[in-house]
Each structure stands twice: as C-alpha cells, then as structure tokens.
C-alpha cells in the first residue's frame, strides 16, 4: 500500500511545478478510443499575447502554440489508430516512435496507449512538464526529451516512424524541420505530419518534395463540420 506514495508525491510535485508556470485544469479527453485524464492550459490565448509582447525573445522556449487543443492532433490520434490496425498489435508494440513538437503530447500518448514505445520532444520546458504529467500513466513507454530543431548536432537515434501535429504552420520552420527529420528517420521509415489544410500546408507540400522527399496524402474526417485533417506521409527515396 505504501509503494505508491512516492510516485503520487512525484506526480503532485510535478503538477505544482506546472501551476507555478502556467494556469492549468485537470480534465478528461478521449485518446486511442479511451477516456483518459488530461491537463490543459486554461488560457492559451494569454500565453500567445505574452509571447507577442516579447517578440522574438526566447524563440521556441516561449512558443505558446503547444498549449492549444489543435484539431490536427485529434486527427493524428485517429490516423495512428488506422496504422496500428494495418501493421497489427504485435508489430506495433515493437515500434519506437518519435514525436516532433509534441506540446502536451496527444499524438505520442496515443501511440503509446496503443502499445508503442515513444519519445515525445519539444523545445519548450513548460510544454515538456505538461507532457510528462499527461503521460504519467504511460511513463513505462513514454520518455519526454528536449529537442531544438535548430541544433544539428543533437541526435536522439533513428526511428521507423516520426509524427508531428500542426508543426508545418510556418514556412520559416521548414528549413530547420527537414534536416531534423532526416537526422532521426530510419532509412526505410516514414514521417507523418498532420495539419488542417491551411495554405501553409500547400506550401509545405511543394517545399518538401523539392527537398527530395516522396509524399503521399491521407485525410481524416473528424465529423465536426470543418475541413478534413490532412496527413502528409513523407519518405526518403530508397
């Protein structure tokens, strides 16, 4: 009965660290077709205004976009369910997956809840804390690491699958995202990037192909009256 006390204390202390940085609320959400606890920022718009007031100072570290609940992350969750069904549960459990720009961790946690081992990355220390809290029940299969795409010397290993939700919203990020993808992708692997059919997605489509990648598109209908979520499947030529 006492063995769980230290873990509970660690989780409580993690929550207190997060609350000193950003206002959050504990709620419930659906991931991998299961209802699970979820910590979300109560006022992501306030983070955005703060970042705008600071201008470029802090860079990725103060990027507030991770705090919002993006439709693209929900679409990636459902898409991962499709892939898991195609490869089979046994093969899925043998996979190691890297999430880029994971934010609060929805896509990576989705992959882990389905049985894969996952490394969720972000450049924001606050996002990483929230992600660790959200992944607490999956911590035997999830690790959270800091990854700054600009650091070309940083290498976390090779992964057969890379995922990212709504990380191609700014064309200025393409030239630093693409080398990061190359550094971490197994030669026969695939990168899956979700986005809600913005015009910047169209720009990424042509840009990534001009950088030498092969591209396929998949679409996920969230049945919410909005545009379908587009999934870019990116592979390097064999």
Please name every residue paired with 99 in a beta bridge, in sequence order, or none if there are none: 120, 163
Please write the tens of the pLDDT for every residue from 167-218. Answer: 999 999 999 999 999 999 999 999 999 999 999 999 999 999 999 999 999 9
Q: Over the range 147-183, which residues count as b (16 or more CB within 10 Å of their CB) and which as e?
A: bebeeeeeeeeebbbbbbbbbbeeeebeeebbebbeb
- Within 10 angstroms of residue 21's Cβ, the number of other Cβ atoms is 12
3-state helix, strand, coil in the chain (%, to 5): 45, 25, 30
Task: Give yes or no for residue 11 having a pLDDT over 80.
Answer: yes
Q: What is the model's pTM?
A: 0.91
Please write the tens of the pLDDT for every residue from 74-93. Answer: 999 999 999 999 999 999 99
Q: What is the pLDDT of residue 61?
A: 47
Please name every residue paired with 219 in a beta bridge, in sequence order, or none if there are none: 230
- 191: domain CATH number is 3.40.50.150
Is 80:110 a contact under the CB 8 Å cutoff? yes
Q: What is the pLDDT of residue 66?
A: 66
Q: Which structure tokens are listed for 232?
A: 């870019």
Please write the tens of the pLDDT for every residue from 83-142. Answer: 999 999 999 999 999 999 999 999 999 999 999 999 999 998 999 999 999 999 999 999
Query: Into how many domains does the chain fold?
Result: 1
Residues of the domain holding 208:
5-235
Task: Give yes or no for residue 42 having a pLDDT over 90.
Answer: no
């Amino acid at each position: 009965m006492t063995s769980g006390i230290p873990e509970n204390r660690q989780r409580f202390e993690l929550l207190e660290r997060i609350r000193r940085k950003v206002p959050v609320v504990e709620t419930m959400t659906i991931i991998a077709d299961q209802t699970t606890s979820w910590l979300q920022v109560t006022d992501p718009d306030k983070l955005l205004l703060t970042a705008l007031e600071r201008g470029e100072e802090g860079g990725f570290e103060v990027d507030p976009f991770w705090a919002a609940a993006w439709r693209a992350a929900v679409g990636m969750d459902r898409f991962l369910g499709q892939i898991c069904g195609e490869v089979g549960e046994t093969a899925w459990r043998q996979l190691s997956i890297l999430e880029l720009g994971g934010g609060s961790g929805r896509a990576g946690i989705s992959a882990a809840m389905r049985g894969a081992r996952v490394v969720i990355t972000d450049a924001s220390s606050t996002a990483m804390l929230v992600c660790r809290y959200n992944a607490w029940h999956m911590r035997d299969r999830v690790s959270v690491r800091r990854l700054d795409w600009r650091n070309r010397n940083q290498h976390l290993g090779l992964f057969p699958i890379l995922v990212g939700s709504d990380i191609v919203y700014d064309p200025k990020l393409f030239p630093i995202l693409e080398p990061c993808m190359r550094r971490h992708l197994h030669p026969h692997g695939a990168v899956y990037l979700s986005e809600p059919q913005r015009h910047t997605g169209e720009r990424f489509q042509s840009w990534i192909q001009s950088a030498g990648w092969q591209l396929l598109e998949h679409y996920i209908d969230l049945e919410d009256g909005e545009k379908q979520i587009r999934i870019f499947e990116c592979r390097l030529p064999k």
